[in-house]
């Protein structure tokens, strides 16, 4: 498709820029060209880096605008040096925000008319500040917790180091001596204060050198690990820096900031400045500064939609990414995963702090987990005696993995990869013989009003859209069942499913379920529906002739959601369809011990001794769909339940992916899945 005629043709002079994810979305107002020989109307480069020098020279020589790109102030979870994708990009056609020698688009925003920053914008900026302070969100969000033992009683001043060669130092009217002067001034003026020097994360990672010489560190507390900026800022009484953006984060927390260079946030009456730019004479409050730096100046992209978004959406994404990275932090020793499952597991457990290694031997996996301080992980439904023995004997935490309750657009047995997974460090949700993390979430009842409201919105959206676990619509047919009789839907399952083996006693077959349901509901119009895996021939579970005689109608050719909507009551052993029926306000009778039974929401044939709480439906939804699983987009980005629901809704208009037509086709698809070497996205 040809570019819009309103777009300026622009040469990208720094080759590395092409590696930026969503580059064309960030620069959707430009027609990007890679060749320096192409006729262009602008030149794009990365800030003032050496890689853009040729482009800047051409721009000066030909009087073309030079458009400088830089990372935004809310960037990623992880360092750009390690490949973490940025969610924000600064696009400046005036200058560069850290170059105090000349104006920039940011400086023009702050030094010009305030018409753009009206009451609504200021309120928006204040809400954004409050969110960042409350969540501790920062630029790269990879820091570890601060070791409180490093802190001494009394006043504390944070001195911020930077990386040697950082362009913002010279462009901020500073040099290496500025860091020495900062340390010596702090030592002279505050002899009784604890001086804390924080190294840059790239220095802590061993990728770059710092600016403060080692011989100036006598008597100071050096933090040369990457710690959370929010932890540090919460424990100090002031922040001294040269041009570091950490001073900006300190201003958001109303901390006094002293600058020994001229960073973008100095000169506006908010900082004590050792350097004067000769401009920036206007006093601005922190809301205006934040509105310019975080809302008006950068551009943001939502990686889940691939579209431009606002700052608030980017914050939500970064929080999701950070929370996922922390949840999956550490070493994972995986055992018992078939080759076809490993690429998808790698994507589900993807994280900048995750180290995943597969083992053929359960005992070796357990030893590795113990040695690294990591976790032993395996697919719960494929637990072998060897894995069970290793899990019982190891001192390492054990995590059992299973599909989430909103999974995909196809069956796992047909090798359609899961987009959600439950990670359970206590048991597994379908095994009622022991506690599970899901059961504990429901029993503890820790869902607050906001979480319950979120669950109610999610439940409404799922019901309105007609979503289920696998989202396999079977066609346009609708149930045509008698209106004058109570309609009982009996849902079959795979009979060797672990939820039946673990969660049922006297009734363990679909035939036994049908006979028990008929006995309990003798006058009902009984509709039976086979499990999709049974219908596809992948798994066992057909009814015997005696049970079939008790059935009034078979609904295998109907969509499960249409069946749920048309029935009055659902009867099941442990099927997830009982949970889906509860979402739709239907009565549910259980003949096993499913995770949603025993909370006062179902009629249960069996007892649940541990489940003492009477839970609301929204508390059940919050635990099962929001708190318990983790989700990814089809591209592999971490996401929330709501994101996956909206994605599945959008894709319903597209043809469903075809299932393999026979066992050979399924085998071939499994081989291809095992050879999938696509790396998950970096975040």
**Residues 401 and 344 placed together within one structural domain of the fold:** yes
Domain coverage including residue 506: 467-653
Residue 2 included in any domain: no
- Tell me: do 476 and 624 sit in the same domain: yes
Query: By mean pLDDT, which of 98-102, 272-276, 323-327, 534-538 is the weakest?
Result: 534-538
Residue 454 is assigned to a structural domain of this protein: no
Question: Domain count of the chain?
Answer: 4
> 464 pLDDT exceeds 80?
yes
Give me the CATH number covering residue 562: 3.40.50
The answer on 623 and 565 residing in a single domain is yes
Residue 411 lies in a domain: yes
Shared domain check, 105 and 235: no
What pairing do the DSSP bridges indicate for beta strands 629-632 and 420-424?
antiparallel
- Residue 273 predicted with pLDDT over 70: yes
287-318 pLDDT, tens digit each = 999 999 999 999 999 999 999 999 999 999 99
Q: Which of 111, 131, 162 is the last residue of a domain?
A: 111
Residue 76 belongs to some domain of the structure: yes
Contact 8, 29 (CB under 8 A): yes
Average pLDDT on 538-567 reads 89
Q: What is the pTM of this model?
A: 0.87
Q: What is the CA radius of gyration of the chain?
A: 30
d(CA 157, CA 189): 11
Same domain, 471 and 615: yes
pLDDT reported for residue 659 = 55
Q: What is the mean pLDDT of the chain?
A: 91
Helix orientation angle between 641-650 and 449-465, rounded to the nearest 10 degrees: 20
Model pLDDT, residue 466: 86
| Residue that is last in its domain, among 300, 327, 342 | 300
- In the numeric block, the tokens 């019982």 are attached to 392
282 and 373 in one domain?
A: no
Beta bridge partners of 71: 89
Could you count the other beta carbons within 10 Å of the beta carbon of residue 276?
A: 13
Alpha carbon distances (Å) from 397 to 288, 329, 330, 567, 631: 48, 13, 12, 43, 22
Do 593 and 369 form a contact (C-beta atoms < 8 A)? no
Residue 681 lies in a domain: no
For the ranges 3-12, 67-76, 278-287, the maximum mean pLDDT occurs at 67-76
Question: Do the domain assignments include residue 134?
Answer: no
- C-beta separation of 251 from 289 below 8 A: yes
349 and 227 in one domain?
Answer: no
Q: Give the span between the Cα atoms of 187 and 255, in whole angstroms.
A: 19
The length of the chain is 683
3-state secondary structure of 579: helix
**Consecutive H or E run containing 647:** helix 641-650
Domain match, 427 and 500 both: no
Please give the average per-residue pLDDT across 465-476, as a whole number: 66
The answer to the question of residue 450 being in a domain is: no
pLDDT at 408: 58
Final residue in a domain of this structure, among 300, 326, 351: 300
> Does residue 488 carry a pLDDT above 80?
yes
Instruction: Give the residue from 302, 142, 138, 304 showing the smallest Cα distance to 639.
Output: 304
Q: Which comes out higher in pLDDT, residue 682 or 282?
A: 282
Q: Does residue 150 form part of some domain?
A: yes
pLDDT in tens, 527-546: 999 987 777 666 777 899 99
Closest by CA position to 297, among listed 132, 10, 74? 74
Same domain? For 493 and 531 the reply is yes
- The 10s digit of each residue's pLDDT in 30-72 is 999 999 998 999 999 999 999 999 999 999 999 999 999 999 9
Same domain, 493 and 399: no
Assess whether 433 and 474 both reside in one domain: no
**What CA–CA distance (Å, rounded) separates 482 from 547?**
21
Asked if 146 and 192 sit in the same domain, the reply is: yes
Distance of alpha carbon 503 from its chain centroid, rounded?
A: 32
């Amino acid at each position: 498709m040809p570019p819009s005629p309103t777009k300026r043709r622009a040469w990208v002079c720094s080759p590395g820029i092409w590696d930026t994810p969503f580059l064309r979305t960030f620069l959707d107002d430009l027609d990007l060209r890679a060749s320096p020989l192409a006729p262009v109307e602008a030149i794009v480069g990365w800030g003032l880096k050496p890689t853009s020098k040729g482009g800047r020279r051409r721009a000066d020589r030909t009087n073309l605008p030079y458009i400088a790109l830089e990372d935004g102030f809310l960037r990623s979870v992880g360092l750009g040096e390690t490949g973490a994708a940025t969610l924000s990009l600064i696009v400046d056609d005036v200058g560069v925000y850290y170059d105090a020698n000349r104006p920039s688009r940011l400086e023009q925003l702050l030094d010009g008319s305030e018409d753009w920053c009206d009451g609504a914008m200021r309120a928006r900026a204040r809400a954004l500040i409050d969110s960042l302070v409350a969540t501790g969100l920062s630029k790269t969000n990879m820091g570890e917790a601060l070791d409180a033992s490093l802190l001494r009683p009394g006043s504390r001043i944070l001195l911020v180091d930077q990386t040697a060669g950082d362009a913002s130092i010279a462009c901020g009217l500073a040099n290496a001596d500025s860091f020495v002067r900062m340390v010596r001034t702090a030592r002279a003026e505050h002899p009784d204060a604890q001086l804390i020097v924080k190294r840059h994360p790239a220095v802590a990672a061993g990728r770059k050198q710092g600016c403060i010489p080692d011989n100036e560190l006598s008597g100071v507390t050096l933090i040369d690990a990457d710690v959370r900026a929010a932890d540090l800022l919460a424990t100090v009484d002031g922040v001294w820096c040269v041009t570091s953006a950490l001073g900006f984060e300190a201003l958001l927390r109303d901390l006094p900031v002293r600058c020994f260079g001229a960073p973008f946030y100095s000169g506006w009456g908010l900082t004590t400045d050792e350097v004067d730019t000769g401009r920036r004479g206007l006093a601005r409050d922190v809301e205006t500064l934040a509105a310019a730096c975080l809302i008006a100046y950068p551009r943001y992209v939502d990686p889940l939609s691939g579209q431009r978004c606002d700052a608030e959406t980017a914050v939500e994404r970064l929080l999701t990414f950070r929370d996922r990275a922390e949840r999956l932090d550490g070493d994972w020793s995986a055992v018992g995963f078939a080759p076809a499952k490993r690429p998808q597991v790698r994507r589900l457990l993807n994280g900048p702090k995750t180290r995943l290694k597969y083992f053929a031997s359960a005992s070796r996996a357990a030893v590795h987990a113990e040695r690294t301080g990591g976790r032993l992980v395996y697919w719960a439904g494929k637990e072998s005696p060897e894995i069970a023995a290793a899990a019982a004997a190891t001192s390492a935490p054990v995590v059992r993995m299973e599909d989430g309750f909103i999974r995909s657009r196809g069956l796992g047995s047909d090798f359609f990869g899961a987009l959600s997974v439950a990670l359970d460090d206590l048991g597994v949700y379908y095994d009622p013989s022991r506690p599970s993390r899901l059961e504990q979430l429901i029993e503890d009842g820790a869902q607050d009003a906001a979480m319950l409201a979120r669950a109610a919105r999610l439940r409404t959206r799922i019901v309105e859209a007609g979503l289920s676990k696998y989202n396999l619509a079977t066609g346009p047919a609708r149930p045509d069942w008698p209106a004058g009789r109570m309609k009982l839907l009996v849902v079959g399952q795979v009979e060797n499913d672990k939820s039946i083996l673990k969660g049922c006693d006297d009734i363990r077959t679909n035939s036994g379920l049908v006979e028990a349901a008929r006995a309990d509901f003798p006058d009902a119009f009984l509709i039976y529906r086979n499990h999709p895996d049974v219908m596809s021939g992948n798994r066992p579970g057909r009814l015997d002739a005696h049970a079939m005689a008790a059935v009034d109608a078979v609904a295998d050719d109907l969509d499960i959601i249409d069946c749920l909507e048309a029935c009055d009551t659902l009867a099941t052993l442990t099927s997830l369809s009982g949970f889906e029926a509860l979402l739709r306000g239907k009565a549910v009778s259980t003949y096993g011990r499913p995770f949603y039974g025993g909370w006062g929401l179902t009629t249960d044939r069996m007892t649940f001794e541990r489940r003492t709480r009477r839970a609301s439906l929204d508390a059940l939804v919050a635990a099962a769909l929001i708190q318990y699983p983790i989700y990814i987009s089809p591209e592999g980005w971490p996401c929330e339940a709501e994101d996956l629901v909206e994605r599945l809704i959008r894709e319903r208009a597209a043809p469903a992916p075809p299932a393999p037509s026979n066992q050979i086709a399924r085998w071939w698809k499994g081989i291809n899945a095992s050879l999938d070497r696509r790396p998950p996205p970096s975040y």
